[in-house]
Structure formats: structure tokens, C-alpha cells
A and B are shown apart, each in its own frame.
Chain A
Amino acid sequence: MRLFTGTLATSVAALMLGAMPLHAADLMIGIKSEPSSLDPQFHVLATNMQVAFTMFEPLVMMDAFAVPQPALAESWENVTPTEWVFNLRKDVTFSDGSPFTAEDVLFSFDRVAKVPNSPSAYTLFTRQIESVEAIDDYTVKMTTFKPYPLLAADITSVVIMSHLAAAGDAPEGKTTTELNRGDGLIGTGPFTFVSWQKGADFVVERNPNYWGDAPEWDTVTMRPMTNAAARAAALLAGDIAVMEDPPTANLSDFENNPDLTIAKAPAGRVVYIALDQQDRESPGISGTDTNPLMDARVREALFISIDRYGIVDRVMGGLAEPAGDLVPAHFLGSSPDHATAPTVDVERAKALLTEAGYPDGFSIVLGSPNGRYVNDVRIAQTIASMWSRVGVTTEVEASAPPVFFQNRDEMKYSAYLGAWGNGSGENLTTLNALINTYDREQGKGTANGGRYSNPEVDALLAEAASTMDDAARGAILSQADSMVLNDFGIIPVHYEVPVWALRNGLTMEGRADQYTLPQYIVSAE
């Protein structure tokens, strides 16, 4: 009996708690994947960046369209091709009240290379920098080894830590382990750290010393919920107020639901098919002894047999834009000739295959990650169906992401589905990673799993990399991009449009880099 009353009391309490409305100034966000660390310089990972940006700020911050804007640096100037001068804001203090000066900038840039055991180091963004010097307390000069036009874009990922709070005995000051506990997590951002447990909630509260506009929220909780359907159910039940990536199948229902609003970001990440272009017996191809993908006509046949509009409409639920290029048209260095995606042409694809000597087609295995990109396996299946229709019998091999990436790196696929997010706002980073001839030492073509190689394109990319004038660089990049696409070296499919669903009249500006930043989530009024 006693047990019964106890249970009853608990359930009544639970009911009352459930019925109580959330306090207006507390925000609960359902995120699709948790951070691997709170150390903002440990692991280059979107989920780490987005929690870092609640507590920390960089000198230069990307806006929603991936254009660099002043943040802790109120202005900057490229005085010579290799020298950049940044003028820091003078009114900024850290959340512990200490002032922000050039000292903190020097400490933060110095720390990047010292963080040990990083799975993917932030030196990616600082390796072009030869030196960082303080001219005075509020002026910093950076010198690059070579003329490097993307410096401002690169340092948007390097946040500034307090040199006092993050000091420690280790070479890097506070270690990653200490920072993961919350020790030394002092930044200039709109929120300050409250608690984090791996696999559970990350909680921050408003920074009382914030220099900019105070955010609307007293506290913000980010809860990792990896299953999209579970996130959607939690949003509908009101357990969370914001969700990342609502399932595309639910989107039309969400749009018609008066309790919910949908936020979309500018199209960004390109989903593409890479084709094996090495002169070898390609592992996933049967029905022929040579590699048919060496023939540009075969690549063109595969290129035009994909109905991109069909995929966007039926698989992506409209949450994507058909792609004919590697970056959307508003990016610097996109190709104007490929701004609109080609329409499907089955007859021409069949004619091209016949012309290339494959009237009966051949068989190919299409590799795909399972659960890495939005609807990845369904896209791969649909493309398999479209290729099979023109005679290229396609089998989909879908694997868990770690297995997929391992297979890709070992070049076990003749064709695979990939995606590339571009955080710099210009085509140089995309072309460098996906198209440049593979060269591990130089860090070029690192994601070029099809091993496409064109010396002319490589030369253009090298020229672009040292051209400081934006217009001139854009023209060179467009030229290189057109050459690759006219050669059908890679098959763009669509650009993902990042989406969020929000409750209770909340709105947010969707960011091209897909970060969910609570400071930009506001009530409608």
C-alpha cells in the first residue's frame, strides 16, 4: 500500500511537471549529433564548432551566407599580399570579467599547434600562417608564407580563448581533458558554460558580461538525439523547442502545422558521385576487362541519366536544389555555364554508351554511406535505378560511415556517393579537396577518391591559390571548374538545403554552415 501511494505521488508529480509550461527564457534544442570535445581547438567537427560558438568567438565570423564579417576584430586589412592587420574591438571582456587583448589572440593561435592527439587538427586553418604578432594591445599582424587569399575565411574557425583562464602546466595550457570538465572554458561569447556530460545534455547560461546584444535565453540546453524520428516526436510533444534536420518525409506536415515554423539555410553542401578514373581493372565493375569510366562518353552517360529534379522532389522532399556544379551559383568561382542542373536524357545516355562500345552496358557497384548524409542510401538506390534504366546495371553497397570511409580510402569503390560542405564561400576549397590531383604531402585532393587528375586544372588551382584579387581569382576558378565539368570528372547531384523546425513561434536564421547557434534563435515578437 505504501509502495502504491509512493508511486502515485511520483506519477502525480511527474504529471504536474509535464503540464507546467517551460519557462519562456529556457531553450531546449534537439541536436542530431553530440560534440566529441568542448576543447575548441581539439577536433575540427561541425558539432564541436557549434557548441564552441555559444561560448567563444573568432576574430572574423561567417554570416549566414558564409561571408566573413567582423567579430572580435572590428576591421582588417591586407596590407601586402602576405601581411594582414587586424584591429581588435576595445570594449570586449571575457565572461570572467578580464579584458580581451592581443595577448589572448597570440595565445589562442599559438595553442592550436600544441593540442595533442587531435583526430583532425585545427592547424588546417593556421598552416598558412608564418607568424602572429601584436603591434599593440588592440592590433594584431599575421604574416602568411605565401600570398593566401582565404586567410580571413580560415580564421573564422579559430576561436579566441582567455590566455589567463586557459593557462596551465601543459604546453597547450589547459588540456583537452580539463576543458571537457569545464575548467578554463572562458570565452567572450554570448553564453557561459554550465555543464556537459558525454552522451547527454550540454547546458550554457547567459554571459552577463557580453559585449554585444544580450541573447534572449537565460539558459540553453542542447540534447543529442541521433534518431531523426525521435527528434521529430520530441518536437511535436513539446519536449524540445528546436530540432535539427527534421526528416524530409515529415516536412510538408511540419510546414502545415500551425505550432511549428521551418527555417532553411542557403543551399551549401554538394552531394556528388565520384567515379574511379584510374587505368586499372576497377573493383566494382564487371562485364568488361578495362575501366569504362576512363571514357568521357561513359561518364557523360552516367551524368545525364540521373534525374536530379526527380531526386530533389521525391527523395529529398524538396529540401535540396538540383546541382550541375560543385558549388551553388552564389559562390565565388562557380561556373556560370553549369548554374542550372541538366535535365535527364535517357536516349542520349544510351546512345553515348553504344558509341563508347558498351551497347549492352556493364555492371557497377555504387558505394554509399548509410546515415552520414541526408537520405544517403535512398539517393544511392534511386541513382542505381536510373543507371540501370540506361543499361548500367547498378548494385548499391551501403555501409556504416566508418566502414564506408575506410573502403573509400582504400579505393574499393568504382563509384561512390559523397558530399562536400564548403565553409569558405568560394570554390577553391571544394576544387582543392575533390578535384586536384591526389597529393597527400601537399594536402591536395584529399577527398579525391575517384583520383581524377588533370594537370591543366591543377595549374589553374595553383594560380588561383596565390591570386589575391577576388574577381581575378573567381574567373580562374570558374575556368578550372568548367574544365572539370565539361570532362564529366565528377557528377554533382544536388545541394542540400539545411533545415530546422521550431516551436512556439520561434524563428532563426538558418546558416549555410549548418551550425545551430542559440544566440540567433529568437521569439517572433
Chain B
Amino acid sequence: MSTASPQAPTVAVETPFQRLRSQFLENRLATFGLILLALIIVPSVLAPWVAPQNPFDIGKLDIFESQLPPGSVSESLGITYWLGTDGQGRDVLSAILYGMRTSLIVAFVSVTGSLLIGATIGLTAAYFGGKVDALLMRIVDLQLSFPAILLALILLSVLGQGIDKVIIALIVVQWAYFARTARGTALVERNREYVQAARCLALSPQRIIFRHMLPNCMPPLIVIATIDLAHAIAAEATLSYLGIGVPVTQPSLGMLIANGFEFMLSGQYWISFFPGIALALIIVAINLVGDHLRDILNPRSAQ
């Protein structure tokens, strides 16, 4: 913000961000969601330092300590498995922290990627209109007519396994939402005076799109991005649950749930249950934040 407009005069009124913050904190539920999100994200990001065990270091796993119930004490490592261990002898708590890290990385990177690609395409379509607009929007329509999970499944079966592949697949299935939203907003902005003024100055389309229109189209895109974050986490979990996402030795939440499924009938609930709870919490937290953000940023729903 500050680098974009170094000559902007400093004004005493509260900045949009300050206004956003005070409006956001008015809603207790959303504040709760934000705190919950922080409580989940911080330990996940710090997983290598706070997790009792590195579940991805398979040389350290002990098959004789597999399927232990919550609260068991490890004989070889001397740590307590607060949430038990899974079928390979991984500490479920550590696996959740590391798995969440994977889920969050995949979600953030894929949503950012989709946002960049989608916004560029949407703004381009809106700015140029006519045939360009028709062509790009028909591609978007085509894209949206495919069920997202099916498309991701096909892509992953072609691309193979790996975190990078999952990210690519999720970008491909998500960009269209951003493109459509960006176009809708930009169509309104295109006819505003400041854009006409910029055109009169014969600025390049590139400059008009990215420097003038984009900042004004951001609020709805941010809202979509927040909600889409939850979708991306759920989609990654689904793909991994189906066994085609991340590698088996580096399980994400979805794969942890899938791995525990076979132990359910024999009463070893913890292998699936706790990762499931973690997945539900993170999606609820993001949705609470995202919903409220939408309420604030939507001018029509303002008080």
C-alpha cells in the first residue's frame, strides 16, 4: 500500500484497514473464528519445533508402537502420544500438525494462484469486452460445467502424485470462480470516470487494468478467496482420502482420515477421529471469518 502511493497525503481519518478491523471485531462469532484460526495456524506453521515427533521421518517410526490408544507412553522415544498412534506408529497429534501444514500450504498457494490467474483473465475480459470477453467467458462456463472433484481426479491421474501436482490441479479447478467474479466487478468499474480519465491519458491497457481497476475490484475477490480457502482444504482432503493426492509417507489430513478408516470397526477410533475434528475445525474457522468478511465488504449489506 505504502509503496504504491508514496506521495499520498497523510490524513487523520481512519484508513480502510482500520475501519475493516473495527467492523470485524464487532462480530463475536467472527472474532472467535479468527482466534480459532490463529490457534490452528500458529502450531501448524511451527510444527517442526512444537510437534513431539517428526511423522515424515519414516526412519524414526516404530511399527511396534502402532495403533496405541490416546495417552500411551512411548517406550523408545519417551514421549506421550496424547492422541494415540496410527497404523504405522506415527504420533497422531504430530501427524495432524504436519498434515495441517500440508493442507494449509496447498490451500494458500492454490488459492493465490487461482486468484492471480482468475483476476487477470476476468479483468482482461471485462476491459476489452466483445469477442475477447465472449471467448474467455465461454471457457469459464465450460470449466464450471465440469464437477470440480472429477476434473481434479482426472488431472492427478495424468500428472501423478505430489504436493505440487495437487496445487496445479486445484488451481485448474478454481480459477474460473475468480475470473467470473473479477469480470462482474470490473464491468461496473470499466465505465467509471477514473477509468475513462486513464484512457484519455492513453495509458496502456495493462496499466489501467492492474494499477487502476484491480485495486477497486479486490474486496469481492478477497471474500471469494477466503471462502475458497476452505474449499481448497476440503478438496485436498478429499483427493488425499481417495489416495491420489500427497505421497503416503507424508500424509495430509485427508489421508490420515482414510488411513484410520480400516481401524474404525475394531474400535480404534482415534486414527480417523482426531484428524477429522481438526479438518472440521479449520474449515469452520475459515468459513466464520470469510462469511463475516463478506458481510462487511459488501456495500449492500452495510448497516
Contact = CB atoms under 8 A, between A and B. Distances in A.
A244 to B, nearest CB: 16
A395 interface: yes
A381 B248 contact: yes
A384 interface: yes
A229 B262 contact: yes
B261 A382 contact: no
Interface string B242-254: 0100011100000
Given A249-B265, A253-B266, A370-B243, A384 B249 contact: yes
Contacts of A232: 265
Contacts of A233: 265
Contacts of B243: 370, 398
Contacts of B63: 307, 310-311, 314-315, 382, 385-386
Contacts of A389: 59-60
Contact of B64 (A310, A393, A397): A310
Contacts of A397: 161, 247
Nearest to A361: B59
Interface string B65-97: 011000000000000000000011100000000
Nearest to A391: B59
B267 interface: yes
A377 B266 CA distance: 20
B265 A384 contact: no
Contacts, number: 72
Contact of A385 (B59, B161, B262, B264): B59
B108 interface: no
Contacts of A444: none
Contacts of B269: none
Given A310-B64, A381-B248, A249 B266 contact: yes
Contact of B248 (A249, A314, A396): A396
Nearest to A311: B63
Nearest to B259: A378
Contacts of A388: 57-59
Instruction: Give the contact-size bracket for chain B.
Output: 20 to 34
Contact of A229 (B67, B89, B265): B265
A357 B71 CA distance: 43
B261 A229 contact: yes
B268 interface: yes
B61 interface: yes
B249 A395 contact: yes
Contact of B66 (A314, A395, A396): A314
Given A247-B262, A388-B59, A394-B58, A315 B249 contact: no
A393 B88 contact: no
A229 B259 CA distance: 12
Contacts of B57: 388
Interface in A203-253: 228-229, 232-233, 236, 247, 249-250, 252-253
A365 to B, nearest CB: 10
* Consensus secondary structure, chain A interface: helix
A398 B248 contact: yes
* Consensus secondary structure, chain B interface: loop
Interface in A339-397: 370, 377-378, 380-382, 384-386, 388-389, 393-397
Interface residues of A, number: 33
B248 A377 contact: yes
B225 to A, nearest CB: 33
Contacts of B248: 377, 380-381, 396, 398
Contacts of B249: 381, 384, 395-396
Interface in B256-291: 261-268
A384 B263 contact: no
B251 to A, nearest CB: 10
Given A310-B64, A396-B248, A381 B59 contact: no
B87 A378 contact: yes
Given A370-B243, A384-B249, A398-B248, A247 B59 contact: no
A313 to B, nearest CB: 8
Nearest to A394: B58
B64 A314 contact: yes
A397 B59 CA distance: 16
A382 B88 contact: yes
A398 B58 CA distance: 16
B156 to A, nearest CB: 11
Q: Which of B88, B247, B261 has the most CB of A within 10 A?
A: B88
Contacts of B61: 385
Nearest to B244: A400
Contact of A395 (B60, B247, B262, B264): B247
Contacts of B263: 249
A259 B26 CA distance: 59
A250 B266 CA distance: 5
Contact of A247 (B67, B265, B267): B265
Contacts of B87: 249, 315, 378
A424 B289 CA distance: 65
A283 to B, nearest CB: 14
Nearest to B264: A229
Contacts of B58: 381, 384-385, 388, 394
The 3 closest A-B pairs by CB, nearest first: A388-B59, A385-B58, A389-B59
23 contacts: A229-B261, A249-B87, A249-B262, A252-B266, A253-B267, A311-B63, A313-B64, A314-B66, A314-B89, A315-B66, A315-B87, A370-B243, A381-B58, A381-B88, A381-B249, A382-B63, A382-B88, A385-B61, A385-B89, A386-B63, A388-B57, A397-B161, A397-B247
Given A229-B264, A253-B265, 7 more contacts: A307-B63, A315-B63, A315-B87, A380-B248, A381-B249, A385-B59, A396-B247
